[in-house]
Chain A
Amino acid sequence: MPKNPVETPEILPEGASWEVELNRVGFVRRLLMARRWYGADWWFVAIGGVAVVAFIIVALFPGLFAPYSPFVQVGPPFLAPEAHVDMPVLIVPKKSSVKSLQDLAVPPDANRPQISVVEGYPTAGALNTESQKIDEQIKDEPRGLRLRPVIDRYPSLQETLHAVVDGQDNASVVQESQFKSVAASFPSLREAAPIQGGAFSAGGFILGTNDIGQDVLSRLLWGTRIALTIGFSSSIVSLLVGVPLGLLAGFGGGLFDRLLSLLMDSLYAFPGLILAIAITAVLGPSMLNIIVAISVLYVPTYYRIVRGQTLSVKEEVYVEAARSIGARRLEILSQYVFPNVIQSVAIIFSVNVADAILTGAGLSFLGLGLPPTMADWGIDLARGQTFIQTAWWMITFPGLAILMVVLAFTLMGEGLMEIYNPKLRER
């Protein structure tokens, strides 16, 4: 006998009058039982739900996860993911015990250390900055050491390094890549610690940096906040406008219903992005305006679903019965129509947020939504497009982020829709 696959239980033996028994399964219990019945859909909801929660956490506390600030330059521009940052390093003779710049500090009356650098490179500046910083720190210590090196500039790398070999200088500061390229010819020298005084931290940039040296990963994480804010806010506004309108139209009927439905249908049929473009173009770029623009787009969705549900509930016999007992309109609404409606709306909400995030990203990609200073995925993608030939990571990761977040909400919404109400498909 074949194993019991236990599929969708919607088909029952004919005329079963005891179906009511089966339908009394509650919301949560149905979700839990859904695992057996709806297989894939349950996994959709589970995976989507977990992902959504994760993204919400990141959006609420991006600082916890982001290694750097997304707004300032923290590294060299166009750094590939996980690429090594080329820092200036301290070069010393192998037999020396110097580990870092600080070790070159000497008592105030002793000979100042002499450090060679290559002319024309910014390493001298880094050296100065770092030395001053260390000097400030150590001058008040009991030992009273000072670090005020003398900087010798040489025209070439070779001469710079030779100065250390010959003993003219105590150490040298050159770019790490430079030293590595000639290290073989200077067997008596070794690398010590890097000089931190550069504008850039030596920390890894897991996803690389963009055209002005901002960390891609940090911008990704902070961008979550913007995306989710836009997504949730606009969906909530749409809901608050669309649901009551749908209830009123469905319940009231008449001319009001006809006119409103005509308006909503037209709105619904029109390409949402284009309408949003028009609205933001007129209102100007700001977070609030984007939210307003996108909210307008999704009002018809809620309106239609709610109105449809209201209409079908209105025809139910028991509402008529309630009316005949004398229940007032409002009571009928709240008791009979509302619970049905809430379930549908909750399911639509998830997919709505996904849509809204996509539209918002599209708008900022076109340069129309947000001020360009914000750390937003769409903006990053637009910027990345200019440099697509050289910095593939600038477009890959922000786009991937959009995909992940939208996918999470969509999965959840799709799964819920299949489990609770497959009739809700017309969006």
Chain B
Amino acid sequence: MPEDILYSIRNLTVEYGTRAGPVRAVDNLSLDIRRGEILGLVGESGCGKSTIGKALMRLHEVPARITAGELWFDGRNLMELPAGKMPEIRGAEIGMVFQDPMTSLDPVESILDHLTETVLTHEPKTSGAAAKKRAEELVERLGIRRERLKEYPHQMSGGMRQRVMISLALALRAKLVIADEPTTSLDVIVEAKILDLLKELQKEFNLTILLITHNIGVVAEVADRVAVMYAARLAEVGTAEEVFANPKHPYTQGLLKSVPNIELNSAELYKMGGQPPSLLHPPKGCRFHPRCPLVMDICSKEEPEFEPVIGDHLASCWLYQEHEGRGSSERHEVHNA
């Protein structure tokens, strides 16, 4: 594995067993996360992005199962580890920040307890006093006064709780931090603060962050690279600049058009037609084709590959790929919003 890639996801498939049959929340997905970057994973609700987040730590619960793929983290395939070894990695090497900090913190434990427990679990030889000191230093770095450590989760504000969550993820200097919708439950001002905090922390601790969100604005703020997910598959991956300036996949284009833009003086907000597809019975061919404004014949028949369009900018769309009944001379020029 090349040195600069921290986490290489290869052909990952995660299935849920449901009453009506197996559902693939993640379907043969491959993605690389590079060291020191902030990778934004974007998509609508129900597209499978949270599932990936959990899967990276093998944290998913029955009835979800990883049925295929390899998870190469820092040179090791996590899928080959016995399940009992995973807790050693969780929290210590890979950390996770959850969406709703109110429900993600144990209501009957104080903040201090949360932190010291985490430290002591992974480094049992630490003394109680040393653990407490580490906890104090950590939260102060994150902007919480150390006197507040003895409080309980319900006594804190949303933003503060989220800082606690982040501090928990960093308690042991994890290499990779997975942030699953970290600002969705926060108001805009607090959100901005938290995002700034994440950027600072990333530089200071040289973190790698996978930021999972449905909010394109958040991704634009902080991400170095962007991955767009649709219906359990990747639609597009590239650097943030590239993807925002020249989105290739029609879905990405639609997403970007949907962001309300004060400068555009249009009467209506742009809305992408249609509904997210059922993962129980995904559409044949390209999964986006029922909603795609640029749909062609081939789209309803065969699925496009996920291939580079320009350099490191990849997309899965027939617009950029060779197929029967069409030569390369008919490639469209795509106009952006």
Contact = CB atoms under 8 A, between A and B. Distances in A.
Given A7-B62, A7-B63, A11-B63, A22 B19 contact: yes
A25 interface: yes
A13 interface: yes
Interface residues of B, number: 26
Contacts of A4: 17, 22, 65
Given A1-B67, A6-B63, A15 B46 contact: yes
Given A4-B65, A11-B63, A21-B278, A16 B46 contact: yes
Interface in B267-297: 275-276, 278-280
Contacts of B63: 6-9, 11
Contacts of A15: 44-46
Contact of B20 (A8, A11, A22): A22
B50 interface: yes
A5 interface: yes
Contacts of B17: 4-7, 9
B289 to A, nearest CB: 18
B23 interface: yes
B8 interface: no
Q: Is the interface of A mostly helix, strand, loop or mixed?
A: loop
Interface residues of A, number: 21
A18 interface: yes
A2 to B, nearest CB: 7
Interface in B21-51: 22-23, 25, 44-46, 48, 50-51
A37 B63 CA distance: 10
A33 interface: yes
B62 A5 contact: yes
Interface string B51-92: 100000000011111011000000000000000000000000
Given A1-B67, A7-B62, A8-B63, A13 B19 contact: no
A4 B18 CA distance: 11
B58 to A, nearest CB: 12
Contacts of B50: 13-14
A4 B14 CA distance: 12
B152 interface: no
A324 interface: no
Given A21-B20, A22-B18, A37-B19, A13 B65 contact: no
B244 interface: no
Given A5-B62, A17-B275, A21-B280, A11 B16 contact: yes
Contacts of B44: 15
A33 B19 CA distance: 8
Contact of A12 (B18, B22, B65): B18
**Most A Cβ at <10 Å: residue of B19, B23, B68, B278:** B19
30 contacts: A1-B65, A1-B68, A2-B65, A4-B22, A6-B17, A7-B62, A7-B63, A8-B62, A9-B16, A9-B17, A9-B18, A11-B61, A11-B63, A11-B64, A12-B18, A13-B25, A13-B46, A13-B50, A13-B279, A14-B46, A15-B44, A15-B45, A16-B46, A16-B279, A17-B275, A18-B278, A18-B280, A21-B20, A22-B18, A25-B20
**8 A-B pairs with the lowest CB-CB distances in the bound complex, closest first:** A15-B45, A13-B25, A18-B278, A15-B46, A6-B17, A9-B19, A7-B62, A9-B18
Interface of B: 16-20, 22-23, 25, 44-46, 48, 50-51, 61-65, 67-68, 275-276, 278-280
